[in-house]
């Protein structure tokens, strides 16, 4: 099966600091894939390159057969800091994105209906006239998710979308995102530091090696059946095995790799 997203040999440096040293990854249509790894391993950099916000120094990325060279409406990004316009209401923040994406192909009534539909989907239909300063962090993230989905992207890119939220709000939004994903089957690439979140949401988890010159260290398949229930998941034997494996890999295997690379550099430099 042809990959929906193909990342082929992507390199990225900032000055003398090589962040990505050759990343290869295929993502299938409708798949939910998470990127995990230590800070500084290039997870967010890779996501921004897929978004078209940054350009790779080498390699290329294809989405549905077309090369990614710049941002486009076929990809929607949700960041940790929401990215809402403070001078727009909740409704206006989503409408602005819809208007930019669809232009004259939809009339005002169609755009309004689309905005209300997605704000209702994330439970904000009663808060459409509020400004970002008047709503909670969890509600702001709901607006960001509604805005991303309303433009009907081919792919949803999430950069630690729930990292700044309290545990209860984070769990609630994870559940909502999972329901939306199961109903709409968007292809998702998500950066996260939360192992439980990655297991709960993902079909596959991609572990990045430590930088500099990070690559993909390992890809872990999640075969736990969907739909998933958070309470049942915690008692699932595969969940415990996966979590143990991921923790061990991040804490021990990557440290050994880093020590080996340091030793190699020292020997080469002698």
Q: How far apart are the C-alpha atoms of 101 and 142, rounded to whole Å?
A: 19
Q: What is the pLDDT of residue 264?
A: 47
Mapped onto helix, strand or coil, the DSSP state of residue 61 is strand
Query: Hey, where are the domains in the chain?
Result: 1-74+155-224, 83-152
State which residues of the chain have pLDDT below 50: 263-270
What span, in angstroms and rounded, lies between the C-alpha atoms of 208 and 10?
Answer: 13
The answer for residues whose C-beta is within 8 angstroms of residue 178's C-beta and 6 or more apart is 200, 201, 227, 228
pLDDT digits (tens, 9 = 90+) for 207-226: 999 878 999 999 999 999 99
3-state helix, strand, coil split of the chain in percent (to 5) is 45, 25, 35
Nearest-angstrom CA–CA distance, 184 and 182:
6
**How many helices and strands in the chain, by DSSP H and E?**
9, 10
Note if the bond before 227 is cis, omega within 30 degrees: yes
Sign of CA dihedral 174, 197, 218, 19: positive
Residue 174, preceding peptide bond in cis (omega within 30° of 0): no
pLDDT in tens, 62-77: 999 999 999 998 999 9
Q: What CATH superfamily is the domain 1-74+155-224?
A: P-loop containing nucleotide triphosphate hydrolases (3.40.50.300)
pLDDT computed for residue 114 by the predictor? 94
């Amino acid at each position: 099966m042809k990959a929906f997203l193909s990342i082929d040999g992507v390199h990225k440096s900032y000055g003398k600091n090589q962040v990505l040293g050759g990343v290869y990854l295929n993502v299938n249509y409708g798949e939910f894939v998470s990127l995990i790894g230590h800070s500084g391993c290039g997870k967010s950099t890779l996501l921004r390159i897929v978004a078209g916000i940054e350009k790779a120094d080498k390699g290329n990325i294809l989405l549905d057969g077309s090369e990614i060279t710049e941002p486009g409406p076929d990809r929607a990004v949700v960041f940790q800091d929401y990215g809402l316009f403070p001078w727009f209401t909740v409704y206006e923040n989503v409408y602005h994105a819809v208007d930019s994406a669809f232009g004259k192909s939809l009339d005002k009534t169609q755009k309004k209906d689309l905005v209300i539909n997605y704000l209702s989907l994330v439970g904000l239909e009663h808060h459409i006239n509020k400004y970002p300063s008047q709503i909670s962090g969890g509600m702001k993230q709901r607006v960001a998710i509604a805005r991303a989905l309303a433009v009907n992207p081919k792919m949803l890119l999430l950069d630690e979308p729930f990292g700044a939220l309290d545990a209860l709000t984070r769990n609630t939004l994870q559940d909502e995102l999972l329901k939306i994903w199961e109903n709409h089957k968007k292809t998702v690439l998500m950066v996260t530091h939360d192992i439980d979140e990655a297991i709960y949401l993902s079909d596959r988890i991609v572990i990045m090696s430590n930088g500099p010159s990070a690559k993909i260290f390992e890809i872990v398949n999640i075969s736990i059946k969907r739909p998933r229930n958070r309470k049942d998941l915690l008692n699932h034997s595969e969940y415990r095995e996966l979590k143990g494996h991921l923790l061990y890999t991040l804490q021990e295997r990557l440290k050994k790799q880093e020590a080996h690379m340091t030793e190699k550099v020292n020997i080469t430099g002698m």
